[in-house]
Copies of this chain bind each other. A is one copy, B any other.
């Protein structure tokens, strides 16, 4: 039977899905379970979502909605970019199960318009626009990696005797100088400074396009490369990899 006002709202579905994921982990999320908790039949959800992945992505977007508007203050970009990165990390840490889904759907990135205005501000503050993508993507990658790594089991090396055979390892542990948080900030800061450094040895403006082959890294002479990076680019190397499309389900 059909009620005049729909029983199901996409929003509500995503909220409950997110609750299940946060409470019991993403493996506990099944269509039937989600539907039961919504007081609804599982099949009904397919009138509102394409498939389960769609629901997970919806939950993920919900989880990240708080950090999807970047703070772009009037401070130096090195400062607010670091702070934004820390916010992203904090948000991802609250829902680490969702990271793969966010990556799959490219949903980690801000919307195009936010990116555009962010890039505008970066350029205004003196960063060569040609480094904006690198800055954003590199820090995003770092955050993803750090948060994913935090989830390691880590439950094997508790034996005190384990260290006896490995004195350096023990000392590395006991004399550890940086906490995880400090290490994270150090990494972010290093990347930011690295980009800033690259900026200094780059042409101020796209005036002399070819002139800017400076060395940024030892093994990496920077050749200005403009092949549209969007989707078609990424070159053959990554294209090969990303050619794994939606898996066919009942193909067998």
Interface centre among A83, A120, A215, A228 (most CB of B within 10 A): A228
Given A206-B175, A247-B76, decide whether A232 and B141 contact each other with a Cβ distance below 8 A: no
Beta-carbon contact of B247 and A231 below 8 Å? no
Main secondary structure of the interface of A (DSSP, over half): helix
Copies of this chain in its oligomeric complex: 2
Beta-carbon contact of B178 and A222 below 8 Å? yes
Residues of B within 8 A of A244 (CB): 25
Residues of B within 8 A of A138 (CB): 183, 186-187
Beta-carbon contact of A112 and B166 below 8 Å? yes
Beta-carbon contact of B141 and A149 below 8 Å? yes
Beta-carbon contact of A176 and B130 below 8 Å? yes
Beta-carbon contact of B230 and A158 below 8 Å? yes
- Asked if A4 is an interface residue, CB under 8 A from chain B, the answer is no
- Asked if A78 is an interface residue, CB under 8 A from chain B, the answer is yes
Tell me the bound Cα distance from A119 to B247 in angstroms. Answer: 21
Given A169-B115, A187-B191, A231-B215, decide whether A250 and B79 contact each other with a Cβ distance below 8 A: yes
Beta-carbon contact of B157 and A242 below 8 Å? no
Tell me the bound Cα distance from A120 to B105 in angstroms. Answer: 42
- Asked if A182 is an interface residue, CB under 8 A from chain B, the answer is yes
> Could you list 15 examples of A-B contacts with CB < 8 Å?
A75-B248, A120-B168, A129-B168, A137-B183, A138-B186, A141-B187, A142-B142, A155-B231, A157-B230, A177-B224, A178-B216, A179-B217, A186-B195, A186-B220, A190-B226
**A residues at B contact (CB < 8 Å):** 24-25, 27-28, 33, 75-76, 78-80, 82-83, 86, 93, 96, 99-100, 103-106, 112-113, 115-117, 119-120, 123, 128-134, 137-138, 140-146, 148-158, 162, 165-169, 171-183, 185-187, 189-191, 193-195, 197-198, 202, 206, 209, 212-213, 215-234, 238, 241-242, 244, 247-250, 252
